[in-house]
Amino acid sequence: MSVAKRIVIEPVTRVEGHGKVVILLDENKKVIQARLHVVEFRGFERFIQGRPFWEVPVLVQRLCGICPVSHHLAAAKAMDRIVGGENLTPTAEKIRRLMHYGQMYQSHALHFFHLASPDLLFGFDAPVAIRNVIGVAGKFPDLVVQAVLMRKYGQEIIKATAGKKIHGTGAIPGGVNKNLSIAERDVFLKDVDQHLAWAKSAVKIAKDYTVANLAKLAPFGSFDSNHLSLVRADGAMDLYHGNLRAIDAQGATIFDQVDYQRYIDFIAEEVRDWSYMKFPFIRSIGPEKGWYRVGPLARLNTATFIDTPLAEVERKEFRKVTADKPNNVTMAYHWARMIELLHSIEKIQALLNDKDLQGTDLVVKGERREVGIGLIEAPRGTLFHHYKVDKNDLVTSANLIVSTTNNNEPMNRAVAKVAQDHLQGVEITEGLLNHVEVAIRAYDPCLSCATHALGQMPMEMTVLDHQGQILDRKSRG
Amino acid sequence: MNNATPTILLYGFGNPARGDDGLGPALAAAIEELGIPNIAVDANYQLTVEDAAEIAGYDAVVFADAATQGSTPFWFSRVDDTTVKRVGNSIGSIGWTSHSVSPAQVVALARDLFASKVAAYALGIRGYEFGDLDEALSSRAIDNLTEAVTFARKALVERQFEHYVQEFGPPAAGDATGGTTWKA
């Protein structure tokens, strides 16, 4: 390998790995690689070992303050296998689905409001001083109120189905511990039409911006990639359950309808010496070309269709932009995310009108097993939970592949692409910092298990020469 | 919630699985246990945008969190939401993750979106051990928590928050509401 210069973009923060970008240059000062570090939950698997398996669905919610429900449900699905209760009762499955769609709805709304809308509404070349949540609130107050209320609606659904806003206990091995009362249901039904309207308008904002700026957005942090997600047996998007499907950048099937209990035969994880976070890849292709994207963009690419009418119309429009081929535009994540937001509220509406939610048959048990694997489509992508439990009901090993880990290589590639296109010389400009942040925001990496420190994480950029000497350093904040 | 018409909210936040980062929720739990009239209590891992809607209707909110700097056992400060509008200030910038919102941002949004007049304060409880996955508070943090609970009880009952700002804060170094000097 040639002698390389390094450019370091590093948030000033106490917590190790809270976000750090290292850009490697060759002797000709051309970008050859980017290395993005985010918080990895090192030690969490060990933290779980020795615990009774039934505690795990609650315990794993400590992994994330934004999407604890994803971990709660993935762990519960794994523990369903342990107790032989994976064939849930209709009430249990629908309560879990309602919880999950509430989670998707609130998480996507948060991302839209907090991270995406400033870029979409002002353009990502707009000054930082206005391109933020406060700026959006100042210019589009009604939109921001909607977004806050959308987030709150999802949170209330979680509270009603999981029992609590945090550390919910609703999903238990083999089922759930409560149904949804008529009174609880009616609270949500009262507002669901309003939320459908808001979700449709959010899709429109994302779509209009993406289509209008496609020439500029198409190359931004973009690259061809494989895509992976769960899909239903008929190929429909299913965010709660299904089998694994992987396609390549042109849409050719790599594998399809793989039972995720066998994921380990299809997915492997590469370790690199510079990162605590692993790099998953498709075994049959290998680590160099077998990496893949997960999350809203991948799901819009892998799904044959969406089974809710409004979102399906939007999916077709999304696919039309790329002539029904997979969309590999990084910034299209935002549009895809809003289509899923709409899908989620359509699902919520349908579930609220389903009398099974008031059923009383909540738990099933069957043949005891020692291995449990649970997968779910979390807001940021496919989430893997894999446990072994001994005869004393204690967890002996755990392996978790979180969505952000699945997107590890793509995030690095996105940052590298932005750096290749926007780095001039070795000087870190505000423009470069802005563009790198925009690319990272598309994925919204999860700071799993971080201490959730007060305040933002200001960025500091450092330029190092090939001998590690600092050439430039800039700080924001 | 411990009263039908609470006018003050005590909001503790932090990750209880990260050692002393759990000081905020621990204080919230202790205050809730006391059942002080007209005081609402909430807790979460971190602040999020919809917290703007939650705090908007209160007369006052006290955010409680662990602090990595400043006075021991705790400090008490006013949350200055005007800092979020300073050009180039990190609090007002968009950032790159949805996993971090400051009290100042929440208060600014409450004012801008819901015409809230909520008075906002921050209680920073000094912590020491944040790095490892650990559900227990350190012994020194427990000592500080005990004193912070005593203080918070008194402050919430007496409601002389401005007086306590003069007495207990802000921390010596940096902007108490900026967040970065508390924990960075």
Among A132-141, A356-365, B86-95, which is the least confidently predicted range? Answer: B86-95
What are the pLDDT digits (tens) for A85-117? 999 999 999 999 999 999 999 999 988 877 788
Q: Is residue B2 part of a domain?
A: no
What CATH number did the domain enclosing B41 receive?
3.40.50.1450
Please give the residue of chain B at the shortest CA–CA distance from A477. Answer: B90
Please give the residue of chain A at the shortest CA–CA distance from B94. Answer: A132
What are the pLDDT digits (tens) for A69-80? 999 999 999 999
Quote the minimal CA–CA distance from B12 to chain A in Å: 11
Among A8-12, A278-282, B73-77, B126-130, which is the least confidently predicted range? Answer: A8-12
**DSSP character at residue B31:** H
Interface of B with A in 135-174 (CB under 8 A): none
What are the pLDDT digits (tens) for B22-50? 899 999 999 999 999 999 999 988 888 78
CB contacts < 8 A (A, B): 192
Residue B104 structure tokens: 């100042």
- Cβ contact A148–B90 (<8 Å): no
Among A279-293, A363-377, B118-132, which is the least confidently predicted range? Answer: B118-132
Domain count, chain B: 1
Instruction: Report the predicted TM-score, pTM, of the whole model to 2 decimal places.
Output: 0.87
Per-residue 3-state assignment (H helix, E strand, C coil) for chain A: CCCCEEEEEEECCCCCCCCEEEEEECCCCCEEEEEEECCCCCCHHHHHCCCEHHHHHHHHHHHCCCCHHHHHHHHHHHHHHHCCCCCCCHHHHHHHHHHHHHHHHHHHHHHHHHHHHHHHHHCCCCCCCCCCHHHHHHHCHHHHHHHHHHHHHHHHHHHHHHCCCCCCCCEECCEECCCCCHHHHHHHHHHHHHHHHHHHHHHHHHHHHHHHCHHHHCCCCCCCCEEEEEECCCCEECCCCCEEEEECCCCCEEEEEECHHHHHHCEEEECCCCCCCCEEEECCCCCCCCCEECCHHHHHHHCCECCCHHHHHHHHHHHHCCCCCCCCCCCHHHHHHHHHHHHHHHHHHHHHCCHHHHCCCCECCCCCCCEEEEEEEECCEEEEEEEEECCCCEEEEEEEECHHHHCHHHHHHHHHHHHHHHCECCECCHHHHHHHHHHHHHHCCCCCCCCCCCCCCCEEEEEECCCCCEEEEEECC
Please report the pLDDT score of residue A40 as a whole number.
55
Taking only Cα atoms into account, the Rg of chain A, rounded to an integer number of angstroms, comes to: 22
Please report the pLDDT score of residue A477 as a whole number.
43
Q: Is residue B1 part of a domain?
A: no
Q: Is residue B161 part of a domain?
A: yes
Please report the pLDDT score of residue A160 as a whole number.
97
Among A80-89, A118-127, B158-167, which is the least confidently predicted range? Answer: A118-127
* The residue count for chain A: 477
Contact status of A458 with chain B (Cβ, < 8 Å) = yes
- Among the partner-chain residues B17, B45, B105, the one whose CB lies closest to the CB of A133 is B105
> How far apart are alpha carbons A64 and A412 in whole angstroms?
22
Confidence at A467, pLDDT banded by 50, 70, 90: low
- Cβ contact A444–B98 (<8 Å): yes
Domain extent listing, chain A: 5-39+422-475, 223-328
Please give the residue of chain A at the shortest CA–CA distance from B87. Answer: A129
Res A239 pLDDT > 80: yes
Which residues of chain A neighbour B75 with C-beta distances below 8 Å?
none
Coil, strand or helix: which one is B16? coil
Q: Stretch A371-387: mean pLDDT, rounded?
A: 96
Please report the pLDDT score of residue A213 as a whole number.
92
Please report the pLDDT score of residue B27 as a whole number.
97
Please give the residue of chain B at the shortest CA–CA distance from A448. Answer: B99
> How far apart are alpha carbons B115 and A96 in whole angstroms?
37
Alpha carbon of B95 to those of A67, A133, A223, A307, A334: distances in Å? 19, 10, 24, 35, 16
Res A455 pLDDT > 80: no
Please report the pLDDT score of residue A272 as a whole number.
82
Confidence at A22, pLDDT banded by 50, 70, 90: confident
Specify the pairing of strand A381-389 against strand A371-378: antiparallel
Please report the pLDDT score of residue A65 as a whole number.
65
Q: Is residue B103 part of a domain?
A: yes
Other residues' Cβ atoms within 10 Å of the Cβ of residue A320: 10
Highest mean pLDDT among A21-35, A59-73, A342-356, B52-66: A342-356
Please report the pLDDT score of residue A93 as a whole number.
98
More confident residue, A117 or A474: A117
- Cβ contact B113–A141 (<8 Å): yes
Q: Which helix (H) or strand (E) holds B154?
A: helix B139-158
Q: Rounded to the nearest 5 degrees, what angle is found at the Cα of A253, between the Cα atoms of A247 and A259?
A: 85
Please give the residue of chain B at the shortest CA–CA distance from A441. Answer: B96
- Cβ contact B184–A453 (<8 Å): yes
Please report the pLDDT score of residue A463 as a whole number.
57
Confidence at A447, pLDDT banded by 50, 70, 90: low
Contact status of B113 with chain A (Cβ, < 8 Å) = yes
What are the pLDDT digits (tens) for B61-111? 999 998 877 788 998 988 876 655 433 333 344 454 555 678 888 898 898
Res A18 pLDDT > 80: no
Q: Stretch A123-135: mean pLDDT, rounded?
A: 74
Look up the domain containing B48 and give its range. 8-183
**Best mutation target, B42, B85, B93, to test chain A (most A CBs within 10 A):** B93
> How far apart are alpha carbons B16 and A285 in whole angstroms?
41
Confidence at A5, pLDDT banded by 50, 70, 90: low
Quote the minimal CA–CA distance from A286 to chain B in Å: 30
Which residues of chain B neighbour A46 with C-beta distances below 8 Å?
133
**Burial class, A2, CB count within 10 angstroms (exposed 0-12 / middle 13-18 / buried 19+):** exposed
Please report the pLDDT score of residue A377 as a whole number.
98
> How far apart are alpha carbons A263 and A374 in whole angstroms?
10
Confidence at A457, pLDDT banded by 50, 70, 90: very low
Please report the pLDDT score of residue A426 as a whole number.
80
Which residues of chain B neighbour A113 with C-beta distances below 8 Å?
49
Residue A123: what residue type?
A: G
Q: Stretch A434-446: mean pLDDT, rounded?
A: 81
Which residues of chain A neighbour B89 with C-beta distances below 8 Å?
477
